């Protein structure tokens, strides 16, 4: 009886460790995003997603998608086969519990999806490609670029996640302003990251959409009438 109890405890610990490792591999993936670099062949428009950090050829599947099942939800890029399908695909995904956010050329939107609906989403006739919204898609800056710089951090307008992210950001740096939200994004400006932290500490936050240098707004003086 004692041996059986020890065996049960061992099995329980094994599966706990297994799930923990799976979760952490997914939370900190080593898979590189499917960006195309220095390609000599032009990607057909209907198979191209253009990001500020590079281009995606959607004829190539995203290797990270199959690992998203270890998350409950994920931000993903969804490309449709034709712009005429935007509303139809959005309606179908919303019925599955997804939320649609910003447009990304070409023919793509960012969706926040329940990952248990992934198979159903990828099998939709109107959907051409689905890929994870990688942290590397969120900025063109490097850690060396942001030394002594203030940043603008844009986040998806999910209030609960934004509050959690801002609390994390405030533990890694400081800002001289409050974040503000509209229907498109929540924006945290004039943010300075403390030394000892990297730009990846920001982009790894799931709700972060984009990070760039903060630019002080300026008002041009009116042109005098001549």
224: in domain: no
Predicted local confidence at residue 200, as pLDDT: 96
- Could you tell me the pLDDT band of residue 137, with boundaries at 50, 70 and 90? very high
Structural domain that includes position 96: 35-137
Residue 14 sits in the same domain as residue 82: no
Q: Give, as one character, the DSSP assignment of residue 210.
A: E
Residue 96 sits in the same domain as residue 164: no
Residue 89 sits in the same domain as residue 11: no
226: in domain: no
Residue 223 neighbours by CB under 8 Å, 6+ apart = none
Mean pLDDT, range 99-115, rounded to an integer:
97
Predicted local confidence at residue 6, as pLDDT: 46
Q: What is the largest CA-CA distance in the chain?
A: 99
Predicted local confidence at residue 11, as pLDDT: 52
* Residue 77 to residue 129: CA distance in whole angstroms: 8
Mean pLDDT, range 15-23, rounded to an integer:
41
| Stretch (H or E) spanning 199 | helix 199-203
Residue 120 sits in the same domain as residue 153: no
SS3 state at 128: strand
* Residue 195 to residue 172: CA distance in whole angstroms: 9
- What is the per-residue pLDDT across 187-218, written as a single tens digit (0 to 9) for each? 999 999 998 999 999 999 999 999 999 998 87
Mean pLDDT is lowest, of 12-16, 73-77, 124-128, for 12-16
Domain count, the chain: 3
Contacts 24+ apart (CB under 8 A), 63-66: 63/31, 63/34, 64/29, 64/31, 64/33, 64/131, 64/132, 64/134, 65/118, 65/122, 65/130, 65/131, 65/132
Residue 128 sits in the same domain as residue 160: no
Instruction: With beta carbons less than 8 A apart as the criterion, state whether 175 and 195 touch.
Output: no
218: in domain: no
What is the average pLDDT score of the chain?
A: 86
């Amino acid at each position: 009886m004692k041996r059986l109890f020890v065996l049960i405890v061992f099995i329980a610990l094994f599966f706990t460790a297994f799930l923990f490792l799976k979760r952490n591999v997914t939370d900190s993936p080593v898979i590189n995003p499917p960006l195309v670099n220095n390609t000599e062949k032009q990607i057909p428009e209907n198979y191209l997603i253009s990001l500020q950090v590079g281009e995606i050829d959607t004829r190539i599947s995203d290797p990270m998608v199959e690992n998203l099942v270890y998350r409950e939800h994920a931000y993903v890029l969804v490309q449709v086969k034709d712009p005429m399908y935007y509303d139809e695909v959005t309606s179908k995904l919303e019925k599955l519990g997804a939320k649609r956010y910003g447009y990304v050329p070409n023919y793509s939107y960012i969706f926040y999806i329940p990952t248990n609906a992934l198979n159903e989403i990828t099998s939709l006739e109107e959907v051409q490609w689905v890929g994870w919204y990688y942290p590397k898609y969120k900025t063109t800056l490097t850690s060396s670029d942001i030394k002594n710089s203030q940043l603008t951090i844009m986040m998806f307008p999910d209030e609960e996640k934004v509050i959690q992210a801002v609390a994390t950001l405030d533990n890694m740096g400081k800002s001289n302003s409050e974040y503000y939200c509209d229907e498109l994004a929540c924006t945290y400006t004039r943010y300075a990251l403390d030394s000892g932290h990297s730009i990846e500490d920001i982009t790894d936050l799931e709700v972060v959409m984009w990070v760039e240098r903060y630019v002080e707004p300026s008002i041009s003086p009116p042109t005098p009438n001549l």
